Amino acid sequence: MLFRQVLHPDLGCASYVIADTAAGLGVVVDPKRDVAAYLELASAHGFAIAHVIETHNHADHVSGRARLVEATGARSWVSPLAGAGYPHDPFPDGAEIELGQVRLRALHVPGHRPEHTAVVVVDGSRSSLPCAVLTGDSLFVNDVARPDLAVEKHEGAAQLYHAIGRLLELDDGVEVFPGHTGGSLCGSARMSETTSSTIGFERASNPMLRLGEQSLFVSELIHDLPPQPPNFTAIAEANRAGTIGAAAPVAPYPPERLAAAIAAGALVIDGRPAPKYDAAHIPGTIGIDASVNGFGTKAAWIAEPAAELVLVADDEPAALHMQGLLESVGLSAAGLLAGGFPAWTAAGLGVERFQVMDVDELYAAGGRVQILDVRDQHEWDEQRITGSQHVVYHDAGRVIPPLDRDRPVAVICTTGRRSAMAVGLVRRSGFAEVIHVTGGGVGTWAARGYPIEQSQPAAV
């Protein structure tokens, strides 16, 4: 049996290729939009991709199912509860797909979505017992899936509690391969960056599985659920219906055309690394570092469906890479800056910069600057800098905090990644002097012993 995990790091998604190379047959589970890696694996190991399995209608990323079927002629499999609008074979609870000596068995585990199905893997060349389970968006490493994307959250959490119970009927040695790793919005901050585990290890160490009682599990799971990104519903529906087509071509914008687009209200995203963006950027642009995971998700928070979207990078190939990340979350840019950022400066057009401070410099500045905390709500609730104001980073352009526009505003998060995006949004909303706090964040401030407020007493 050949088994490969294929990651989409920007979204924290995991897909899987399983094959019996002796039989020359393989399957791809939960393919990402760019299907090249699967085709390369099949070619290199001499098997045909005969099947594609979707564990559920994904809401966080565009599936590559249609592209893979077009390229290989593979059969599509999904739960009959998914309501799929594309040609497919039903994959109900207990159904099996055979690939030579490899068997893939459907295990219905609802909660994240009603149709959600895990895939139990049996390598018949070694044993008749399961060796692995692809848990999709049910059981993660050190976490479980969020329950509020398709049903009422209490109902979804209760369903997931019982679904996890079905998974825990598997032997402790069965390997767990989840549909997501740390950073995905389909789980919580508990989710590990580790890409696999075992049933036994999760049974013993996963904090959600150790709660025991259903009422405790449900209460903890629905506590402080983050908001759903605005494109989740549209992505899930497009994946269900199978209506996602090819992306439109991206037009090269000369600098003068880009300047006109900005003046007309276009959203321009600069994907260069944050230090470069801070040091010099086109006025009116928003910086989202494409070299850091989460680019597509961050862009989805601020992109308006009908608005013109243009990309800026160091060069055109880098901008096209950004476009690929956007396509994975159902977005598409109208254009990119021809020649990259150097073309803008070569045309003699003006740039802006952000002053950068570390935490110690921010403390030394005292009351001269206002502090805007752009971490998530639960982080703010737990601990914050005394006297600071709060807006979640992706809302910084439309939710105006009670700050004085005539005084400097220092934007801070935990590491400088979310604030790197928020500074552009804050300036775009009318604040002239905006400072980016890097080299640490609120946790660093607290560790220095600088003044903080806490909603709950600190643990002793």
What's the pTM? 0.91
Secondary structure of the chain in HEC code, one letter for each residue: CEEEEEEECCCCEEEEEEEECCCCEEEEECCECCCHHHHHHHHHHCCEEEEEECCCCCCCCCECHHHHHHHHCCEEEECHHHCCCCCCEECCCCCEEEECCEEEEEEECCCCCCCCEEEEEEECCCCCCEEEEEEECCEECCEECCCCCCCCHHHHHHHHHHHHHHHCCCCCCCEEEECECCCCCCCCCCCCCCCCEEHHHHHHHCCCHHHCCHHHHHHHHHCCCCCCCCCHHHHHHHHHHCCCCCCCCCEEECHHHHHHHHHCCCEEEECCCHHHHHHCECCCCEECCCCCCCHHHHHHHHCCCCCCEEEECCCHHHHHHHHHHHHCCCCCCCEEECCCHHHHHHCCCCCECCEEECHHHHHHHHHHCEEEECCCHHHHHHEEECCCEECCHHHCCCCCCCCCCCCCEEEECCCCHHHHHHHHHHHHCCCCCEEEECCCCHHHHHHCCCCEEECCCCCC
The model's pLDDT over 363-422, given as tens digits with 9 standing for 90+, comes to: 999 989 999 999 999 899 999 999 999 999 999 988 988 899 999 999 999 999 999 999
- List the single range of 104-118, 175-189, 330-344 with lowest mean pLDDT: 175-189
**Average pLDDT of the residues in 193-199:** 96
Q: Are 6 and 130 in contact (CB under 8 A)?
A: no
Residue 457 reports pLDDT greater than 50: no
Residue 458 reports pLDDT greater than 60: no
In CATH, the number for domain 251-346 is: 3.40.250.10
Which sequence spans correspond to the domains of the chain?
2-236, 251-346, 355-454
Residue 44 reports pLDDT greater than 90: yes
- Return the pLDDT at 460: 33
- Return the pLDDT at 456: 56
> Which residue has 């939009």 as its token pair?
33
CATH 3.40.630.10 fits 2-236, yes or no: no
The reply to whether 355-454 shares the fold of 251-346 is yes
**Average pLDDT of the residues in 330-354:** 96
- Return the pLDDT at 329: 93
> Which residue has 């709950």 as its token pair?
456
Which is higher by pLDDT, 186 or 278? 278
The C-alpha atoms of residue 209 and residue 35 are separated, in whole angstroms, by 34
Residue 256 backbone dihedrals phi, psi, to 5 degrees: -65, -35
**Average pLDDT of the residues in 144-172:** 95
- Return the pLDDT at 388: 96
The model's pLDDT over 215-259, given as tens digits with 9 standing for 90+, comes to: 999 999 998 888 888 888 999 999 999 987 777 789 999 999 999
Residue 345 reports pLDDT greater than 90: yes
Tokens of 2: 């050949």
Selection from 97-106, 300-309, 423-432 with the highest mean pLDDT: 97-106
Q: Are 325 and 297 in contact (CB under 8 A)?
A: no
- Return the pLDDT at 401: 85
CATH 3.40.1210.10 fits 355-454, yes or no: no
